[in-house]
Amino acid sequence: METVEIARESLDAMLGYLGFTVQVEIEPDGDGGALQVSTEDGELLVGQHGERLEDIAYLVNRILHHRHRDAPRVRVDIAHYRRMRDDRLIEGVRVLAERVRATGKPLKSDLLNSYHRRLIHSTYQDDADIETSSPPGRDRLKRVTLRRRVS
């Protein structure tokens, strides 16, 4: 059985045991896979700032890695919350990037977790004018610096 299917079954069972009626679908993803949860209780499962969604995703991946040590990470989204949040983040960073293009001065993002930093880095990896960097270290939250790319 494919690991993303194991993650789907685990998530469906976990939420079912908690009393939620959900439909969990597998979405194509370039990495380990993605699970989209549809439910009338989306706001309750997502939490105020997405903290419950993050907790659910963490548990699903822990279960998956317990069963298959080398399994790739599976993304979990509920009612497209993560996708909309990612789109808002990218749009905000685009505004910063345009200011960097206009002024030539580097700018920093808000504090971001590793998922959001990777999202920004991958968005600008092929940009001819803007490069991104994060400071080294093991801090969970870091800022991404956007600056003009030196030719």
Which residue, of 79, 99, 117, is where some domain finishes?
79
Question: What pLDDT is recorded for position 1?
Answer: 55
Give the CA distances from residue 88 to residues 24, 71, 85, 96, 140, in Å, rounded to whole numbers and listed in that order.
Answer: 24, 29, 5, 13, 21
List the chain residues with pLDDT less than 50: none
99 shares its domain with 140: yes
Question: 123 φ, ψ to 5°?
Answer: -65, -35
- Looking at the fold, whether 123 and 74 belong to one and the same domain comes out as no
DSSP annotation of 72: P
Question: Which pLDDT score is estimated for 114?
Answer: 86
Mean pLDDT of the chain: 92
Q: Give yes or no: residues 74 and 90 share one domain.
A: no
pLDDT of the residue at 113: 87
43 shares a domain with 101? no
Note the pLDDT of residue 29.
73
What pLDDT sits at residue 2?
85
d(CA 44, CA 78): 10
As a whole number of Å, the CA-based R_g of the chain is 18
What are 127's two structure tokens?
Answer: 């940009």
Q: What is the number of residues in the chain?
A: 151
Give me the pLDDT at residue 30, please: 65
**CB of 60 closer than 8 Å to CB of 35:** yes
66 is in which domain, residue-wise? 3-79
Is 10 in the same domain as 71? yes
CATH number for the domain spanning 40: value is: 3.30.300.20
Please tell me the total count of domains within the chain: 2
The pTM assigned to this predicted structure is 0.79
CATH number at 109 reads 3.30.1370.50
In this predicted structure, what is the pLDDT of residue 115? 85
